[in-house]
Chain A
Amino acid sequence: MATKLIGERIKRKEDPRLITGTASYVDDIKLPNIHHVAFLRSIYGHAKINKIDVSEARKLPGVVAVLTHDDIKGVLKPMPCVGGVPDMHLPEHYPLSGGKVRFVGEAIAAVVANDRYVARDALDLINVDYEPLPVVVDMEKALEKGAPLLYEEYGENRGFTWKISGGDIDKAFQEADRIVKLRLVNQRVAPIPLETRAVLAQYQDRGVEGELTVWTSTQIPHGIRTSIASMLNLPEHRVRVIAPEVGGGFGCKVDFYGEEVLIPYLAMKLKVPVKWVEGRRENIQATDHGRDQINYIEAAVKNDGTVVGLRVKVLADMGAYYQLLSPAIPTLTGLMMCGPYKIPNVSMEVLGVFTNKMTTDAYRGAGRPEATYLLERTMDAIAAELNLDPVEVRMKNFIQPQEFPYKTATGLVYDSGNYQAALQKALDHVGYKKLREEQKKLREQGQYMGIGISSYVEICAFGPSAATATGGWESATVRIEPTGKVTVLTGSSPHGQGQETTFAQIVADGLGLTMEDVTVQHGDTAVVQYGIGTFGSRATAVGGTAVYLALQKVKEKASKFAAHMLKVDPKGLVFKDGKIFPENNPEKSVTLTEVGLAAYLAKDLPPDTEPGLVATAFYEPKNFTYPFGTHIAVVDIDPETGQIKFRRYVAVDDCGNIINMLTVHGQVHGGIAQGLGQALYEEIVYDENGQLLTGSFMDYCIPKAHHLPKFELDYTVTPTDVNPLGAKGVGEAGTIGSTPAIVNAVVDALAHLGVRNIDMPLKPEKIWKAIRDHAKK
């Protein structure tokens, strides 16, 4: 592969429109006679609905429809859940609830009006007769006997029990020198894309064959099309879904939401274009939440720090319903419970629990940050218990570089890795030895400085289709136009990752063109062949590989044309600077423009060749990929206030081969910021009545510029052999690596006081209390 553009820092092709305000997100799209939707949402965490009176709202001038559950029952199918696990209770879940509401923010009525202000006015005119029911928001309490039940028919709030194990866990515990126990709370957080969800639908009645067009802010346009078609009983080829600019997703836009079928339904029913743009309060109430696990951990260890067994019980809060993938998310925690370590005996039991809260589903990293958090906190707890350096415990347990491909006790096969090298590079970068010496001196002076290490391995590039809830392949088309310029179509529908640039790099490199010669299109089911989407760090490794494979096909055909025109052998032709020529004879060349034109004019085709220069590939990966790395946070803590100050933040990631260093940096930065947000600030809080106390940016704190340290980034490169690009994926690395690094740093800073754990978010008040409580002893 030529390496002229691949690996370079190339500024993004998508940026000019985004920095000049000319890009179009869903809410920016104008259609004639557009109507607006507003949703009435439950104000109770749990209540029976005796009656909904919408008569006054219907009378308000400008209002054209008010919909409740009765209007959609029997018309729309229940919402799908494709991430199921065996033997689970599967509640019926409708876009508008009737009879009962189970969380604050659950939609119960939709108003359509010719003006967005009028639609909101009308909500005040709807009268709901609620009968409040007892609420349960705490998972441990939800599992107690006599707890209020969300679904009386199940007789319990346990949604499912899922187990995974490997080796002989009982034997491991018998043979251990010590058992290290921990209870960790991985709190509920919100993904918070800056663009809230938004849906616009238009139905064009073309006699018999109408066409429904839906613009939605999603990571998976084709999947949304399939779901809409299924729920509305429409043939899929008459539904077109467009994801224009998508203002961030972070996993919560991998879902299929009730609003995404209701808005199209209303557009068809009312025969006007209908738009809904989620408000921020709605977004925090009714867009997927993430994490929310309680981990009960038992590690069986030898006195030298070797971990011989790991037993974990997980309570995973599902919230009130399942969304598309909800039950599957904590199964990823189970699959990844060995992390980068050679732990021969493991077992995990996951209990999915219903509570009166919004549903949890995918959020950046989805299940793997939880695995890394429990594991990396455990490694530090083991080190503390055995009085060993946290580095020593990690090095002792790492899988060795020569052992790859490595099969874990949970049955995964890690492709390639060198965990020692990444940790060592991070230690060298931060100056670990010196820092430890400094820490010793500072402690003698009563000052608290902590060093937190987090080594991770993540499962990425989702994935082989057999092992994923949706298909795990990805598609691409590379089309050389008659001008010799190139259009690329990708099923990897981005939301800020920059595929228009990275995929253009791959193609421009392969064809010997410039970045300007290649355009990448995505996010429109009428333009792009079926695709899966962007999530699980799959864009480059799977989507990019599809592009690469389509490129090889089209190159082969272009070579045939060029050889025919040059009267040379098509094998081994070189593509460079817009020309094609035999390697040993650069003087004898044709331009790609000439080849393109010849392919479409088709006056003189090579034998057995069709006109045109287009190729499509559907790439099915043979395995996941397993990026890894080590993050180190160094913090100072003010003993008087519990306030944290960052000294250093060092990240060494290994995502295999890198296509564009600039966008990789961007992904890691953003990932760290989100993981840091969970470690220090972010927390979705419901009170005991199920009221959401963190329903706005006043109460839900996402990090601002001055909250964050300067990130010092470095890389090791261990390519994968799973795909020809050797790329593993990097979108979630920062989020996975950062959270435990920061918590480990804070706990380490207070370790000499006897502090062994503080649950996130590590607000100054909590840290201050931990200092006070332990200083007393």
Chain B
Amino acid sequence: MKQVIQVTINGKPRQDEVEPRLLLVHYLRDVVGLTGTHIGCETSICGACTVLLNGVAVKSCTILTVQANNGEVVTIEGLATDGKLHPVQEGFWERHGLQCGFCTPGMIMAGVQILQRNPNPTEEQIREGLEGNLCRCTGYQHIVEAIQYAAQKMRT
């Protein structure tokens, strides 16, 4: 039995009929057509599918779409405003915080959450904040620097 859900995605409200078992990540990618959110493990560990749901970073690969009913989702596509990159996105570009780019949208969303909770994190706090996100390319050092860059930028 399909269910009707209402959800706001990147500021735009929409209504869809979905199967109760449909994962949020598949809804975003296959139904809404926002493919910036990636699937890396389907077990909540790699973090490639991280989005903000009601302001909290969640792994969209293990959340059912129906659980997002009446909620507000922000994906990587909704982060830049008026064509201007979010400081975390800018940091990733400036500091070479990515290589293949597959984990990057999830990493950026995690970075946004880290800075929302603590605008002035230490290196260690950033590394701990990235606990839920895996990257196989960068060795993380440039990702940490990217988030530090963004922190600096958002404070000034």
| CB-based contact B134/A23 at 8 Å | no
Task: Please determine whether A15 and B19 come into contact, CB atoms closer than 8 angstroms.
Answer: no
Residues 29-49 of B, flagged 1 when their CB comes within 8 A of A and 0 if not, give 100011111111111011010
Q: How far is the CB of B29 from chain A (nearest CB, A)?
A: 8
A195 close to B80 (CB less than 8 A): no
Is A245 in contact with chain B by the CB < 8 A criterion?
Answer: yes
Decide: A280 and B40 in contact? CB cutoff 8 A.
yes
Residues of A within 8 A of B33 (CB): 30
Judging by beta carbons under 8 Å apart, are A245 and B100 in contact? yes
A contact residues around B82 at 8 Å (CB): none
Q: A279 vs B36: C-alpha distance in the bound complex, in angstroms? A: 18
Interface string of B86-107 (1 = CB under 8 A from A): 0001001110101111111100
**Interface check A247, CB cutoff 8 A:** yes
In the complex the two chains form, is A704's CB within 8 Å of B136's CB?
A: no
**Residues of A1-35 whose CB lies within 8 A of B:** 11-12, 14-16, 18-25, 27-28, 30
Q: Using Cβ atoms and an 8 Å threshold, which residues of chain A touch B52?
A: none
Q: Which residues of B contact A27 (CB under 8 A)?
A: 29, 35, 38-39
Among B1-9, B64-72, B124-132, the stretch that binds chain A is: B124-132
With A19-B92, A245-B100, A705-B130 as given contacts, are A193 and B105 in contact (CB-CB < 8 Å)? no
- Spot the interface stretch: A350-358, A668-676, A749-757: A668-676
Bound together, the chains give a CA A663 to CA B36 distance in angstroms of 23
B57 within 8 A of A: no
Q: Is the CB of A670 within 8 A of B136?
A: yes
Q: Are A23 and B76 in contact (CB under 8 A)?
A: no
Do the beta carbons of B93 and A16 come within 8 Å of each other? yes
Rounded to whole Å, the gap between the CB of B115 and the closest CB of chain A is: 15
CB contacts (< 8 Å) of B36 on chain A: these are 20-23
State the Cβ distance, B129 to closest chain A Cβ, in Å. 8
| CB nearest neighbor in B for A662 | B96
Tell me which of B48, B76, B136, B139 contacts A250 (CB under 8 A): B136
Q: Which residues of B contact A666 (CB under 8 A)?
A: 96, 99, 137-138, 142
Most buried by A among B77, B138, B142: B138
B100 touches which one: A246, A672, A705 (CB < 8 A)?
A: A246
Contacts of B46 in A (CB 8 A): 194, 280, 697
Flag whether B73 is at the interface (Cβ < 8 A): no
* Residues of chain B with a CB closer than 8 A to A497's CB: 99
A639 within 8 A of B: no
- The answer to whether B141 touches A697, judged by C-beta atoms less than 8 angstroms apart, is no
Q: Are B134 and A248 touching (Cβ within 8 A)?
A: no
Q: Which residues of B contact A117 (CB under 8 A)?
A: 19, 21-22
A245 contacts which chain B residues (CB < 8 A)? 100-102
| B134:A702 contact, CB within 8 angstroms | yes
Chain B interface, >50% SS class: loop
Q: Is the CB of B37 within 8 A of A21?
A: yes
B108 within 8 A of A: yes
A763 surroundings in chain B (CB, below 8 A): none
Report chain A residues within 8 Å CB of B24.
none
Cα A279 to Cα B26 in complex, Å, equals 14
Docked complex Cα distance between A15 and B108 (Å): 13
**Interface residue? B135 (CB, 8 A):** yes
Q: Is the CB of B131 within 8 A of A705?
A: yes
Indicate if the CB atoms of A20 and B80 lie closer than 8 Å: yes
Which single residue of chain B is at the shortest CB-CB distance from A195?
B102
How far apart sit A277 and B100, CA to CA, in the bound complex (Å)? 18
Q: Name A10's closest neighbour in chain B (CB-CB).
A: B96
Inter-chain contact B102/A25, CB cutoff 8 Å = yes
Residues of A within 8 Å of B58, CB to CB, are none
Instruction: Enumerate chain B residues within 8 angstroms of A775, measured Cβ to Cβ.
Output: none
Among B29, B99, B141, the residue within 8 A (CB) of A710 is B141
Q: Considering only CB atoms and an 8 Å cut-off, how many residues of chain B contact the other chain? A: 58
- In the bound complex, residues from chain B placing their C-beta under 8 Å from that of A28 are 29, 35
A236 to chain B, nearest CB (A): 28
B75 CB–A CB distance under 8 Å: yes
Task: Knowing A279-B42, A698-B43 are in contact, say whether A194-B102 is a contact too (CB < 8 A).
Answer: yes
Q: Which of B21, B35, B100 contacts A195 (CB 8 A)?
A: B100
Of chain A, the residue at the smallest CB distance from B76 is A21
Which residues of A549-595 are within 8 A (CB) of B?
none
Give A527 Cβ to nearest chain B Cβ, in Å.
Answer: 21
| Residues A665 and B96 in contact, CB atoms below 8 Å apart | yes
A670 engages B139 (CB within 8 Å): yes
Closest B residue to A494 using CB positions: B100
Q: Across the interface, do A708 and B139 meet the contact criterion of CB distance under 8 Å?
A: yes
Bound CA–CA A497/B76 (angstroms): 22
What is the CA–CA distance of A280 and B36 in the complex, to the nearest angstrom? 19
Q: Are B85 and A18 in contact (CB under 8 A)?
A: no
Flag if A12 contacts B96 (CB, 8 Å). yes
Contact (Cβ within 8 A) B45 A698: yes
Given B42, B93, B126, B141, which contacts A669 in the complex, CB threshold below 8 Å? B141
A289 at the interface (CB under 8 A from B): no
Contact residues in A for B142 (Cβ distance below 8 Å)? 665-666, 669
Which of B42, B133, B143, B144 has the most chain A CB within a 10 Å cutoff? B42
CA distance A498 to B138 in the complex (A): 13
19 contacts between A and B (CB under 8 A): A12-B93, A19-B76, A19-B98, A19-B105, A19-B108, A21-B75, A25-B102, A27-B35, A245-B102, A247-B102, A248-B102, A280-B42, A496-B98, A496-B100, A666-B138, A670-B99, A673-B139, A702-B134, A705-B126
Supply 8 further A-B pairs (C-beta < 8 A) apart from A670-B99, A670-B136: A15-B92, A20-B76, A20-B85, A27-B35, A194-B102, A277-B39, A496-B137, A711-B139
Q: Ordered nearest first, which 6 A-B pairs have the shortest CB separation? A: A21-B36, A247-B102, A496-B100, A18-B101, A669-B139, A673-B139
State the A residues within 8 Å of B (CB).
11-12, 14-16, 18-25, 27-28, 30, 116-117, 192-196, 245-248, 250, 277, 279-280, 495-498, 662-663, 665-667, 669-674, 696-698, 702, 704-706, 708, 710-711, 734
